[in-house]
Structure 1
């Protein structure tokens, strides 16, 4: 399933632009004020703001009940783009084969604890967030596949079994 990137907008903003009247004078003034303030930041501060935006998008995705799956690699691609590091350089940096990194970026390989800790050390995103992305996607897939009737289970039924035994 192709990931819907509703949280990562092409201009680097996080959120849904349809929720704001972008033609209003108030919005235009706010946008101008933000641009002026942003231009006063150092390159390092700008980089941190962009990476924080990606982290907030990850957290927003984790909290959203949507059935859309966004592989963690999608967020990692954005991080690499922001820091202007290509896939080959990053793969070499973390002692990985480029093919394995490509699989991770395309959602064909999962992030494990070791990779999550490498990403935590490299980007301002905790290892637990990277792992939670995988967990959420796994749960969404399981709910979509519905290979089992989970409604048949309940604490009440379990307690009834204990009483019978």
Structure 2
């Protein structure tokens, strides 16, 4: 499955987790989830998943369009359950599991998306990046914003 979709990015501690909705279901960039729970090779981790738990999506990056491996909610649970550290209280994989199941997924189910809280400083960087695209590339502000955010 190859999907081109709009990403939402949120942060867990020092990890950025990119997510997208496909048929109103949350999908996650596999590498981001693997990095968050300490799995060093996302490609190997994906081998164990069922075909309906993984796919490929085209995303836009600053260097252009890129194909990334994505995993479904079920696929993410499978990776977490196979991670031994996800049951060790206080470990990063355990905190990630708790965060996803207690905060992220309930919010996605209720609102259709998850948005991390941003500070004024977070928005300043975004605003500066959008303004730079508008001035250098001649883009319309809303188009530049959607490319970045």
Q: Which structure features the higher share of strand residues? A: 2
TM-score (norm 1): 0.25
TM-score (norm 2): 0.27
Q: Which structure features the higher share of helix residues? A: 1
Q: Is the radius of gyration larger for structure 1 or structure 2?
A: 1
